[in-house]
Amino acid sequence: MSTSHPLYINGQWVTGAKRITNSSPSDLTDVIGEYDQASAEQTRQAISAARQGFAQWSKSGLEQRYKALMAIGDELITRQQELGELLSREEGKPLAEGKGEVYRSGQFFHYYAAEVLRQIDERAESVRPGVEIDVRREPLGVVGIISPWNFPMATAVWKIAPALAFGNAVVFKPANLVPASAWALTEIISRQEFPAGTFNLVMGSGGETGEALINSPQIQALTFTGSLEVGRRIASATVANLVKCQLEMGSKNALIVVDDADVDLAVEAAFNGSYSGSGQKCTASSRLIVTDAVHDEFVSKLIARLEKATVGHALHEGVQIGPIADKRQLDSNMEWIERAQADGATLAFGGNRIEMATEGYYMVPALFTNTTNDMAINRDEVFGPIACVIRVADYEAALTTLNDTQYGLTAGIITNSLKLASDFKARAETGCVMVNLPTAGTDYHVPFGGRKNSSFGPREQGQYAREFYTVVKTCYVRA
């Protein structure tokens, strides 16, 4: 029998309105468990509980917050093997990546535990004699958090940790595809000394649980990572209630490879950026923009690298690319491959479904050549292990192509020229820029976010997180 996993509301484990079964994409017979689903009414109850929890947590001492966040981080790091296996089982990324995600989640809690002790306000001089001014930051209130399925723990944590560190209460709705990691995280949080209602877990569908959260006038902020379509809907819902909103949405990242590039380095950067995590990353390099001089060598070596890649069960040793997260995403990938070929692109490698010893959602990573930037596959987010090579004449053409998109999250260049690297950093219309590195992979202590339709609202991570999770108060005093 599968173990049932209840909701967590107001400091209590609560039975949901119904349940779903969570199975591994590596092996559909591997049932991870049954997870309760919150009704709209239970979501509203969680918000009400959070408002009560906030009244206490916002006034808690810094040492209390510091110790709680440090303890959560310590346990995540200590249990990285166990929780990494759980994460990889339900999401499908190779075990090394699953363990790394759990470890990084622990680092996030440690970082924001330290930020608790760095909350130092500012003093300003008044233009009026005898008047003192203090500028301070205070917690917002109740923060709604909606996290995606591709990083079921890390993305949730980089929202939860700063929300709690700055004194807010949380109502957390994870993606319904990956409830196990969220539940395991909640179980750890539930054992810390938080006032009842400070943290709440409401697993459920976007149509019911998510809608109840984003439409609530009782929350003060909502942070979301997911698709552009859903992000726009959330923005419309939250603005109606004047709720502060932070959105991380779609992307169509590009890696430029120029004439003077180290081609071997470019191939590794492209492989890691395009195919790690089965390409299911908002930072994935789905467009590979390569200049004429190195195009043929780059394509030949990248195909050779793909031929050596091991696709398989997420928990099996030596696997570099796991299964696709679910059937809907796999079917979408196959439709994109058919559409790209119909539009004139050449399928240079892979792109086919494969059968393994266990029934799962497996496919060979795909590489397209002879693509143009106006093809649909180079305009819309695909979110799979599919990369497209776009051949251009030179660096200027490459940069123009890179910026010709509605998105602007990450961008990379492989070059040995300091001049080109400096020019690229200045002119790439993205929130994150990488030189001689994959586009996927960011540090946790610096700001993360994009431009154009990739992001909306203040940046995430690092000290920049306080811009979203706090409100500024200016205090005037005449002694």
Q: Which of 261, 271, 343, 336 is nearest to 301 (CA)?
A: 271
* Rounded alpha-carbon distances, angstroms, from residue 302 to 98, 227, 265, 440, 461: 25, 29, 11, 17, 33
pTM: 0.96
Give the ranges where 58-143 is alpha helix by DSSP (H). 62-78, 80-91, 95-116
Rounded to an integer, what distance in angstroms lies between the CA atom of residue 91 and that of residue 87?
6
Question: Mind telling me the catalytic residues?
Answer: 248, 282
Look up residue 104 and give its two tokens.
């990084």
Res 1 pLDDT > 70? no
Q: How confident is the model at residue 30 (pLDDT cuts 50, 70, 90)?
A: very high
Rg of the Cα trace of the chain? 23
Per-residue pLDDT tens over the stretch 253-311: 999 999 999 999 999 999 999 999 999 999 999 999 999 999 999 999 999 999 999 99
pLDDT at 2 over 70: no
Here the tokens at position 271 are: 């492989």
pLDDT above 70 for 131 = yes
Q: Work out the average pLDDT over 182-209.
A: 98
pLDDT of residue 3: 79
Q: Which 8-state DSSP code applies to residue 17?
A: S
Report, as an integer, the average pLDDT of 414-421.
98
- pLDDT tens-place string over residues 310-352: 999 999 999 999 999 999 999 999 999 999 999 999 999 999 9
Cα separation of 7 and 204, whole Å? 10
Mean pLDDT of the residues in the chain:
97
Split at pLDDT 50, 70, 90, the class of 47 is very high
Give the span between the Cα atoms of 334 and 353, in whole angstroms: 8
What is the predicted pLDDT for the residue at 479?
84
Rounded to an integer, the average pLDDT of 28-33 is 97
Position 353 scores a pLDDT of: 97
